Amino acid sequence: MKIRCIAIDDEPLALQQISSYIDKTPFLEKVALCQSAFDAMEIIEHEEVHLLFVDINMPDLNGMDFVKSLTNKLQIIFTTAYSEYAIEGFQVDAVDYLLKPISYNSFLKAVNKAKNWFELTNLKSNQTAGIEKEEIFVKSDYKIVRVLINDIWYIESANEYIKIYINEKDSITTLMRLKNFEEQLPEKKFMRIHRSFIVNLDKITAIDRNRIYINQKIVIPVGEQYKEIFQNYLEKKRLYNE
C-alpha cells in the first residue's frame, strides 16, 4: 500500500521540489499539489489522504492553524524556512519538521518515519477483533524484526528514534516517534510515565517516590505531567495503607 500525500506551499518552486521528491520515492503517491490550505481542505474531503507536507507561513490560513483545524487523523510533515515553529510543530504531533532548503536525504528520513507508523498501523488493523496482539514487527536497520509484546521491558525515546528494551541490556532501535509506537501497544499492559519513557506495567518491581524500578536495577523517572495517571493506576492496585 502506498502512502497517499498532498504537498501544500504557496511558493511554486518549493512545491515543485517536494513534488519531485514524492515522485522519486517508491512508497509515496502524490494526490495533489496545493498553493493554499483551503485548496487542500477541498481535496481531503473527497480523496483518501494519509500524509500532508505543510508549509507554515502561508497567506490567509497558515499551515499550523490549518493542521490544528483538521478533524481527520493525518500524518503531518512541516516544511518551512523558520526554525522557531519547531516546538509548536511537535506539540501537534507532527511526524517531522523540515527546514528549507530541504535535501532529499532529510526528506527521505522524515517519510520513513511516516512509513514505519503506517506499517505498524496496518499490522494493528489486521489483528482479529477482540484478540490482544502478542507480537509486533518493527524496522531496525535493514531488517524487519519480530518483537513479542510480553518481552518488552520499556521503550525509550532517543531523539528521532526509539529503543525497545527486551531485557536489561538488549534493545532494538527503530526510526519512529514514541507517541506513534505507543498507539500500537495494549493500553492495559503499557503506560507512558515520562515524555521519554513507556513501561511494561508487568515488569515494575518497585516504586520509590517518583521513580519506578524494573528488575530492581533499572530506574525510570515518573514525569510531572504523568504523575496523576500513574497514581490512579496504583490506587486501583494497592493493598497497603499509607
Beta bridge partners of 143: 140
pTM exceeding the 0.85 threshold for the entire prediction: no
Place of cell 481542505: 41
How far apart, in whole angstroms, are the C-alpha atoms of residue 93 and residue 146? 26
Phi first, then psi: what are they for 5, rounded to 5°? -135, 160
What are the residue boundaries of the structural domains of the chain, listed by start?
A: 3-124, 135-237
Distances, alpha carbon 186 to alpha carbons 59, 101, 199, 218, 239, in Å: 42, 40, 12, 22, 25
Place of cell 499551515: 63
Q: Distance between terminal CA atoms of the chain?
A: 54
Of the given ranges (12-16, 30-34, 183-187), which has the lowest mean pLDDT?
183-187
Q: What percent of the chain is predicted at pLDDT more than 90?
A: 47
Amino acid at 18: I
What is the pLDDT confidence band of residue 122, given thresholds at 50, 70 and 90? low
Average pLDDT, the chain: 86
What is the pLDDT confidence band of residue 128, given thresholds at 50, 70 and 90? very low
Report CA torsion sign: 166, 172, 174, 177: positive
pLDDT tens-place string over residues 70-101: 877 789 999 988 776 656 655 677 888 899 99
**Which set of grid coordinates corresponds to residue 16?**
515543485
Q: In what order do the strands lie in the sheet with 3-8?
A: 28-34, 3-8, 51-55, 75-80, 96-99
What does CATH list as the number for 135-237? 2.40.50.1020
What does CATH list as the number for 3-124? 3.40.50.2300
Whether the per-residue pLDDT at 129 is higher than 50: the answer is no
